[in-house]
Amino acid sequence: MVGFSSSDHRALTPAKRLIWLIILFAVQLLYVPINRTIQGGVILSTPWDQVVPFWPEWAVPYVLGIVWWELSFVWAAWKMDDTRYRALVTATLAVFLTSYAVYVFYPTYVERPALQGNSWPIELVRTIYRNDHLHNAFPSGHAYTTMLIVLFWWNWRPRLRWLWAAIGVVVILSTLFTGQHNLLDPLGGIAWAYAGYRFGWWWACRGAAGCARRATTAEG
């Protein structure tokens, strides 16, 4: 977190914003080797998981959610005010790194449904399954990344709150309806995101009077 001052007088130059964006993307990519090397672990399931349907068409918002994350991070680096951007990057790195520690030291995985047929939704789910292995289930990376963006965008771009809420609901439901996660996984991801959000604002606002109000005050 070096270089993140709580004072607005230390403006983040475009070069610094780009560096932090690259660091964020690099840390995000650490998910892949962890996902592909971890073995064993436990399945966190509840009786309600048995009634969650498998709807392969929901693979579309599942994949589009990933595109939305990356575009949102670029948008933030380009347009977000300094304090909010510091809070976002701090929160995101904290959430990523702590979740990776859970994946390594308390591995979790899911039992996926057997795929039958060759329709385009089934083929898309097969592609997801091939590229995203069984592990790194709890907390759900889809859930915490999506909710982090929703939380920060909620007051940064309040006129589109209906859109942020819709994206959050649809992407999180897609983790269940594609068989990628059990119910506890996205719930854990939501909690992880909220904790990271609060930590990010605390870190960015240390020693700055009134700064934390930005976390709950909508921009015009």
The answer, yes or no, to whether the previous bond of 139 is cis (omega within 30 of 0) is yes
**Angstrom distance (rounded) from CA 28 to CA 31:** 6
Q: What residue has token string 């780009």?
A: 18
| Averaged pLDDT of the chain | 93
pLDDT at position 4 = 37
Does the pLDDT at position 103 exceed 70? Answer: yes
Please say if the pLDDT value at position 7 is more than 60.
no
> With bands split at pLDDT 50, 70 and 90, how would you rate the model's confidence at 6?
very low
pLDDT-derived band at 216, boundaries 50, 70, 90:
low
pLDDT tens digits, one per residue of 144-202: 999 999 999 999 999 999 999 999 999 999 999 999 999 999 999 999 999 999 999 99
| Predicted structure pTM score | 0.92
What single-letter DSSP state applies at residue 180?
S
Q: Which of 97, 77, 84 is nearest to 13 (CA)?
A: 77
| pLDDT in the model for residue 67 | 98
Q: Is 83 exposed, middle or buried (0-12, 13-18, 19+ CB in 10 A)?
A: buried
Query: What proportion of the chain, given as a percentage, has pLDDT over 70?
Result: 91
Q: What is the pLDDT of residue 99?
A: 98
Provide the token pair at 103: 């994946």
Angle of helix 82-105 relative to helix 184-204, nearest 10 degrees, comes to: 140
pLDDT of res. 210: 67
Q: How many CB atoms lie within 10 A of CB 46?
A: 11
In whole angstroms, what is the distance from residue 218 CA to residue 220 CA?
A: 6
The yes-or-no verdict on residue 10 having pLDDT over 70 is: no
